[in-house]
Structure 1
Amino acid sequence: MEGSETGWGRPAEPAPRWRALLDRARHAGRGAEQPEPDRRVEDPLPPPRPLAAPESFAPPESFAPPEPLPRRAAPNGYAGRAPAGQPGERPYGADPGYRAEATYRVDPSHRAEPAYRPDPGYPGEPGHRAEPTYRPDPGYPGEPAHRVPEQRRPEPPESRYSLLDNGYRPEQPPAESRYALLENGYRPEVGYAAPPAPAPTPPPPAPPAIAPPPVTDRGYPARAERRPPTPDPEVERARGVLRRELGSPRVLAFANPKGGVHKTTATVLGAATIGSVRGRGVLAWDDNELRGTLGLRAGSARHARTIRHLITELAQIEILEGDTLLERLDDYLRHASDGSYDVLAGEESPRFAQRLDQFTVKRVLELLRRTHEVVCVDTGNNVESPNWRTVMQAADQLVVTTVPREDAAFSADWMLDLLHEVGMGELAENAVTLISCPTPGRSPLQDDLERHFASRTRAVAVVPYDPALETGSSIEYAQLQPETRQAWLRAASVMLEPFAR
């Protein structure tokens, strides 16, 4: 279809350039140059460049070797095309007369369609309004800095089923009466008389008005004083008895031939109770002939001196008077942890019992009366020894210790009979029976013992069980339970009541 019109009414493209190059190569050796056919290209191709060649090689006339092929460029759609105004590159292996096709140029007869412009007279579709062209306001200061919108917390679901039901919330009609929710929205028929509403509950009575705290002179509220609990009248009376004057030094003998009836415990607690009230002048002496333990359970062991060391220097101490006597005697005494009473410990060696004769015991008791107001003596178990009988003859008050057991009560009752036989019936009749409870609870035998000894002695006192005394270690009066201390106050007041003035 060379040189003719195409089927679309547009002129065909010019003949390929390689044909012209081929024709030129064919007629190059003839010497007569044929005119090239007319081309429909505006810019003719430039003549080929003459290339220098060695003398031994004579290329054909008007023949130039092909130029080196250009390197392949990136696949941008224009690879292999010669730039505008320059001859195209010859493909590798093509005919020497090949000339690349000229760059495609737009047909000058082609007219592009004009840009679309709406008909100014077209009214447009009904209801449609074109948005006006945006024109910035010259006085508008501009938008502020962009801010990220705050994220709101999702509202908490109103019920536990809202998340499962995709937020579905059933509408509940307002209850018209107090029976609406109970009867599933049942509405009484017309003419039905609803029951009367219940009477309103009266409000609770107002609490009594609290008086404001008193104010001091400086304007500050006065500090509330903590009032101690109301004391027991009987306990207060017992304290009053223990504070009175006794007229002269008194000796309290704690005795029972049976062992394990709390003689040592009663001696220590009797001295501790009286000393806690009087504050001074109370001593506990361990006169047990067979290695007593009073020195271990009472007092602080400042030293290891006992009654044996005191007897060794008794003659030098007896001649002293006043404060000098007190200071010299203090070297042989031990003291309670709270300082309420003193302790004269017994000798641990049983061979020393032979040296405590009747005359020596009287001298020791006379010395202790000169320095103390109350002397509590823990007697031994041998009622036939001169030591035991000497203490009984010098005692102002006998305290019969026992526990609620038949053997302990029998031993105490037999001792009272012995005192009547040896001429000390008055001491037995004015004695105080002290019943100590070794276990918690009340023994069924305790009532019988109280009635029996109440008929044989002046009074009967009962002290309860205390866990602080069960271990058998050092006795601390402050660690006893309040009930135990109150019972001992009443018992000690009964012991000293005949001598109080």
Structure 2
Amino acid sequence: MEGSETGWSRPAEPAPRWRALLDRARHAARGSEQPETDRRVDDPLPPPRPLGPPEPLGPPEPLPRRAAHNGYAGRVPAVNQPGEPGYGAEPGYRAEATYRVDPAYRADAGYRPEPGYPGESPYRVPEPRRPAPPELRRPEPPELRRPEPPEPRRPEPPESRYALLETGYRPEPPPAAESRYALLETGYRPSAAGYAAPPPAPEPPVPAPPPAVADRAYQARVEWRPSAPDPEVERATAVLRRELGTPRVLAFANPKGGVHKTTATVLAAATVGSVRGRGVLAWDDNELRGTLGLRAGSARHARTIRHLIGELAQIEILEGAGLHERLDDFLRHASDGSYDVLAGEESPRFAQRLDQFTVRRVLELLRRTHEVVCVDTGNNVESANWRTVMQAADQLVVTTVPREDAAFSADWMLDLLHEVGMGELADNAVTLISCPTPGRSPLQADLERHFASRTRAVAVVPYDPALETGSSIEYHQLQPETRQAWLRAAAVMLEPFAR
């Protein structure tokens, strides 16, 4: 039935007002489907239609389906035109708006309507919009155009200092200073009528090098010239190299201990042996436990004077090279081979076996194989061993240090030698003063004057740090001043026998 609605067991009612408005909107939408070029913005609006009774309507037609988006927005029909009520408007309402959409307007390619926008379903995923063709785009004024962001610049890698060299680049050498003769070197000759440049100023003459330098082609050369040798050292060396006639025995004695008897014995043998090269021996003839074997010579074996005396009878009958080879089994040698060492016995019970007869036999055997024998005596002046060495000695060396007790002991020993009939040995003795500390002691000058009046000569050897530890004595480790002092002292000891 037209103009009425029927329901289940519900009477028919007249059609509502909104149905007429809906039909009118449908007719308006159908009429707007005309070509885009037939409509213009400035076309006059149609006159408003008079309101009248609603026309009878048939069954509702289905709503037109909205076409899919084609990438740009078409023209939107005007709404709320004058004389036409809006959806749901009251009767008698007339819209005053005359809004029209610019036909040249095209929505932006990236525009997406918000959910709830009329004509757009909030539950439908919008399809991607394709950009409008360039001929339909509306140019923007220059003042409204957004400046295009600059392309990001990639950071350039730091230039290597060797990059140019790796690519084969070679810097050109700087231009040389222009020579004053450059024009002449290139063949330029000024004309006679032209301007003549003033002659260059003459360079100052270079002094000629000395003849010695010119002969060596200006090659710098540093020459080391040894200092002039000390005349005393040369004289002492010459004395030690002379022939001594017969083997000589040097006895180092002082009844007091700690006066450098062992040190003096070792250094005297090392000094003479460094000059002569062979035939020098140091013997530790101490009745008690001596240390000469520990401070001198290499410990290639543990044989001492006790082992030599045990085979003394078999060795005495040997001659020549056989004697040297057999005796060498009981001797120790210095590190540089300049002298030999006969170590003393460490057991004190052996002292009773060194009687006067045995000591003379040992001295005679050592004289057959060596030219200089340095003997380190003991401290007991009443023993037969000590008296036998003094009687066989060719040179007595009184060792002392700049101390009153050591000097008193040495002076008392000289008096004892005069009492026992060995005054000549005491008068021809050499006093050796060893300095145990650096510097000169105030007592040293008094001791030099005193022993110079009692002995033939006085020799002073300086302090050396290599001797302070009391360990093995190495002659080459001494300071040059110490070696020179020992050369002079050894020459004084052997000078009366040198030929």
TM-score bracket, shorter-length normalisation: 0.5 to 0.7
> Does the C-alpha gap of structure 1 residues 210 and 460 become closer, same or farther in structure 2, counting only changes over 3 Å?
farther
**1:377 matched residue in structure 2:** 375
SS where residue 211 of structure 1 aligns?
A: helix
Q: Aligned AA for 1:247?
A: G
2:309 partner SS: helix
- Report the alpha carbon displacement of residue 14 of structure 1 after superposing the two structures with TM: 2.8
Among residues 336, 355, 359, which one is paired with 1:338 in the alignment?
A: 336
Listed as ranges, the matches of 1:169-188 within 5 Å are none
- In the other structure, the counterpart of 2:470 is 472
Corresponding residue for residue 213 of structure 2: 212
Deviation at 1:211, TM superposition (A): 3.2
Corresponding residue for 1:14?
45
Q: Distance in 2 between matches of 1:388 and 1:354?
A: 12
The secondary structure found in structure 2 opposite 1:408 is: helix
- 2:76 corresponding residue in structure 1: 81
The answer for unaligned runs of 5 or more in structure 1 is 1-9, 30-58, 84-90, 95-100, 107-205
Hey, what does 2:488 align to over in structure 1? Answer: 490
- Alignment match, 1:232: 230
Q: Which residue of 2 aligns with 1:6?
A: none
1:208–1:242 Cα change, 3 Å: farther
CA distance 1:342–1:222, change in 2 (3 Å): farther
Distance 1:429 1:67, change over 3 A: same
Question: 2: distance between equivalents of 1:208 and 1:490?
Answer: 47
Residue type at the aligned position of 1:81: V
1:66 aligned to which of 44, 63, 66: 63
Aligned twin of 1:39: none
- CA distance in structure 2 between the aligned counterparts of 1:247 and 1:220, rounded to whole angstroms: 57
Amino acid of the residue matched to residue 398 of structure 2? V
1:300-379 equivalence runs, <5 A: 300-379=298-377
Normalising by structure 2, we get a TM-score of: 0.63
| Shift of residue 15, structure 1, vs aligned partner | 1.1
> What is the rounded CA distance, in whole Å, between the counterparts of 2:100 and 2:334 in structure 1?
133
TM-score where L is the length of structure 1:
0.62
- AA matched with 2:399: T
1:65 CA drift (Å): 4.0
Name 2:114's counterpart in structure 1.
none
1:499: Cα distance to partner?
0.7
Q: Identity, % of aligned pairs? A: 79
Equivalents in 2 of 1:491, 1:248: separation in Å?
20
What is the CA deviation profile of residues 458-483 of structure 1, one whole-angstrom value per residue up to 9, with x for unaligned ones? 10001111111111111111111111
Q: Residue deviations 1:83-131, cap 9 Å, x none?
A: 9xxxxxxx9889xxxxxx999789xxxxxxxxxxxxxxxxxxxxxxxxx
The residue that corresponds to 2:426 in the other structure is 428
Q: Conserved in 1, the CA contact under 8 Å of 2:401 and 2:436?
A: yes
Distance in 2 separating the partners of 1:404 and 1:262: 11
Question: 8 Å contact 2:75–2:101 — kept in the other structure?
Answer: no
Identify if the C-alpha distance between structure 1 residues 426 and 208 changes in structure 2 by more than 3 Å, giving closer, same or farther: farther
Cα distance per residue 1:131-188 (max 9 Å; x no partner): xxxxxxxxxxxxxxxxxxxxxxxxxxxxxxxxxxxxxxxxxxxxxxxxxxxxxxxxxx
Q: In structure 2, do the counterparts of structure 1 residues 367 and 65 end up closer, same or farther at CA, with 3 Å as the change threshold?
A: same
Give 1:267-278 correspondences, 5 Å limit: 267-278=265-276
Provide closer, same or farther for how the CA distance between residues 337 and 67 of structure 1 changes in structure 2, counting only shifts above 3 A.
same
Q: CA deviation at 1:406?
A: 1.2
- Following TM superposition, by how much is the alpha carbon of 1:60 offset from its aligned partner in structure 2, in angstroms? 2.6
**Residues 214 and 222 in structure 1, CA contact (< 8 A), matched pair in contact too:** no
Once the two structures are superposed, residues 360-397 of structure 1 have per-residue CA deviations (whole angstroms, 9 ceiling, x without a partner) of: 11111011111111000001111111111111111110
* 1:251 and 2:256 correspond: no
Of the candidates 273, 284, 287, which is equivalent to residue 285 of structure 2? 287
CA distance in 2, matches of 1:249, 1:214: 56
Where structure 2 has 5 or more consecutive residues not aligned to the other structure, the ranges are: 1-40, 79-85, 90-98, 105-206
Q: Is the 8 A contact 2:331 2:342 kept in 1?
A: yes
Question: How much has 1:68 moved relative to structure 2?
Answer: 3.2
Three-state SS of the structure 2 residue aligned to 1:455 is: helix
- The one-letter code matched in structure 2 to 1:342 is D
Kept in 1, the 8 Å contact 2:297–2:334? The answer is yes
Q: CA deviation at 1:344?
A: 0.2
SS at match of 1:324: helix
Whole-angstrom CA distance in 2 between matches of 1:212 and 1:223: 10
Q: 1:329 to 1:482 in 2, by over 3 A?
A: same
* Correspondent of 2:443 among 442, 445, 459: 445
Q: Distance in 2 between matches of 1:237 and 1:104?
A: 132
Which amino acid in 2 is paired with 1:14? Answer: L
Deviation at 1:410, TM superposition (A): 1.1
> Which residue identity does 1:250 align to in structure 2?
R
More helix by share: 2
Residue identity matched to 2:351: A
**3-state DSSP of counterpart to 1:212:** helix
Tell me what 1:455 maps to. 453
Q: Secondary structure at the match of 1:299?
A: coil
Residues 104 and 230 of structure 1: is their aligned pair in 2 closer, same or farther, counting only changes over 3 Å?
closer
Matched with 1:119 is: none
CA distance in 1, matches of 2:276, 2:449: 32
Q: Distance in 1 between matches of 2:497 and 2:70?
A: 137
RMSD: 3.6
**Number of residues paired by the alignment?**
345
- Give the superposition deviation at 1:418: 1.2
**Distance (Å, rounded) in 1 between the aligned partners of 2:375 and 2:42:** 155
Shift of 1:209: 4.9
**What amino acid is the match of 2:63?**
P
Please give the secondary structure, in 2, of the residue aligned with 1:274. Answer: helix
Structure 1 residues 208-239: Cα deviation after superposition (integer angstroms, max 9, x where no partner): 95832866xxx997986532222111111111
